Amino acid sequence: MPKPLNIGMIGYGFMGRAHSNGYSQVSHFFDLEYTPVLKAVCARDKAKAEAFAKQWGYESVETDWKKLLERKDIDAVDICTPNNLHKEIAIAAAKA
C-alpha cells in the first residue's frame, strides 16, 4: 500500500494546473511507493487560491509561501511560480 506524500504547491497558473493533473493521474501510469496528497496550495490572492483548491482537490490554502514552508504536514514543495521567483523559494524550501 503506497504511503502518503503531502504536497504543498506554490503558484496556481498553467504549471500548477499541469502538475495538479499529473498528481491526480500518476497512479494510472506507475506503481508508486507514495501517493500524492494535495495538502495545500499557496497564492497571494486567497479567493483565487480557494477556487483552485476546490477545483483540484487541495485540502487547504495559504497566502504566504513562507508559512507553507513552516507547516509540519507538508512533505514536498512544488514550485509553480514564474521562473524568476524560484530561487528564493527553492533555497528556503531546501532549508526547511
Predicted structure pTM score: 0.92
- Across-strand partners of 37? 6
CA distance 58 to 51: 10
Average pLDDT, the chain: 96
pLDDT tens per residue, range 5-18: 999 999 999 999 99
Residues 17 and 31: their CA atoms lie apart, in Å, by 23
Asked if residue 42 lies in contact with residue 64, where contact means CB atoms within 8 angstroms, the answer is yes
- Per-residue confidence at 1, pLDDT binned at 50, 70, 90? confident
